[in-house]
Structure 1
Amino acid sequence: MFDSIIQKDKELLIFLNNLGSEQWDSFWLIITNQFNWTPLFLFIIYLIFKSFGWKKGGFIIVSLIILVAFSDQFVNLIKDSMERLRPNNDPEIQHLLRHLKNPQSFSFISGHATTSTFFSIFIIFLLREKYKYIYLILFFPLLFAYSRLYLGVHFPLDISLGILTGILLANGYYFLFKKIVKKLFV
């Protein structure tokens, strides 16, 4: 059964990846680069300081830095434990994919999907009572994660389970965050 799931995962990636076209390649290369999202991150930082002030806002920013660092290391631990080849390195399907990037690290789970979802859900938890449109931030992890399929560097399961992991981590992290904030700022 597991082999069947993996095979379907590969087939779905091949289908999705081959929907791409040269006219959209540069767009998805821009989307996949986290540094190109800097305006969004700066806007979030602005909203945090506006909503919580300098002291609590500064604590939240440090918490976000820890969140990203933890998520990155957690994903690397999983990748190094699972050792699933990236699609662009999988000899069975690499010739069937459009290649725009060729990372050499392992594939499962997607760090882009995990960390962007973790970050976005945590931000929603923080700001949902102050900004009703904060839920629009969910476009960030969706686009960011899809870019990895478009580029052929992750399988759909890598993305799906990365998103699920990000949701679970955000819930746990927010629970701990609230407890710490209650002790420090009340």
Structure 2
Amino acid sequence: MIDALLRFDTDLFLFLNRHYAGWLDPVMVWFTERNTWIPFYLLLAGWLIRQFRTQGGWMLLTIAAAVALGDQITSSVLKPLTLRLRPCHVEALQPLIHPVLPCGGQYGFASSHAANTFAMATVLTLLLRHRSPWVAYLYVWAILVSYSRIYVGAHYPLDVLAGAGIGTLAAFGSVWVYTRFYTTTKAKSN
């Protein structure tokens, strides 16, 4: 069963990775690079603080907690535990894939990029969906960043799906803590 799942994952990776376009390479590199998003993160942080004041600061801490939790589960727990090579490190796959960037770290299960982006999108959606419905569009961003990891040859689809799931769960847990803490703190101040 596991072998069949991994074989399907590899076949799906090869299918997705082989469907590339030269003009799309720099776009996917831009999406996958972490530093690309620093201005976005700064604008978002400024907007949260300006719009929600103290509560915005707590929201930022909640995002940071969810991202840190998702990142640590994927990078410090799952990658060393599973030791699943990134597709770009599998010698038999190297002639079959379209690598856009140098391969990076040796192990890929689960994707930290997917965990981090889905954690952030989920926290903001859970906290702000009633006040700012546009935050749901952050899932489009998270999906594009996650797909870019397959496009550049760094992750299998299962790596990305697992990372997205871990990030989403980390967000739910962090928002649960935020809700309990912020509600308690707010009640004490009134």
Q: Report if TM-score (shorter chain) is over 0.5.
A: yes
Aligned to 1:117: 118
**In structure 2, distance between residues paired with 1:72 and 1:9:** 22
Q: CA deviation at 1:66?
A: 2.8
SS in 1 for 2:36: helix
Q: Is structure 2 residue 22 aligned with structure 1 residue 19?
A: no
**In structure 1, distance between residues paired with 2:62 and 2:133:** 23
SS in 2 for 1:69: helix
Q: CA deviation at 1:64?
A: 2.4
Amino acid at match of 1:47: W
Q: CA deviation at 1:142?
A: 0.4
Aligned to 2:98: 98
Aligned to 1:158: 159
- Identity across the alignment (%): 26
Compute the RMSD of aligned alpha carbons.
1.5
Deviations 1:57-106 (A, max 9, x none): 22222332233222221111111111100000012212200112211331
SS in 2 for 1:177: helix
Q: CA deviation at 1:151?
A: 0.4
**C-alpha contact (below 8 Å) 1:56/1:185 kept by paired residues:** no
Cα separation, partners in 2 of 1:128 and 1:50, compared to 1, 3 Å: farther
TM-score, normalised to structure 2, is 0.91
Aligned to 2:129: 128
Aligned to 1:148: 149
Gaps of 5+ in 2: none
Q: Is structure 2 residue 174 aligned with structure 1 residue 173?
A: yes
Aligned to 2:82: 82
SS in 1 for 2:79: helix
SS in 1 for 2:180: helix
**In structure 1, distance between residues paired with 2:59 and 2:136:** 19
Aligned to 1:4: 4
**C-alpha contact (below 8 Å) 1:51/1:130 kept by paired residues:** no
Q: CA deviation at 1:10?
A: 0.5
Deviations 1:140-183 (A, max 9, x none): 11000000010011001011121122222211221111001112
**C-alpha contact (below 8 Å) 2:74/2:110 kept by paired residues:** yes
Q: CA deviation at 1:40?
A: 2.6
Aligned to 2:52: 52
Runs of 4+ in 1 over 3 A off after TM superposition: none
**In structure 1, distance between residues paired with 2:16 and 2:59:** 37
The number of residue pairs the alignment matches comes to 185
Amino acid at match of 2:175: Y
**C-alpha contact (below 8 Å) 2:63/2:119 kept by paired residues:** no
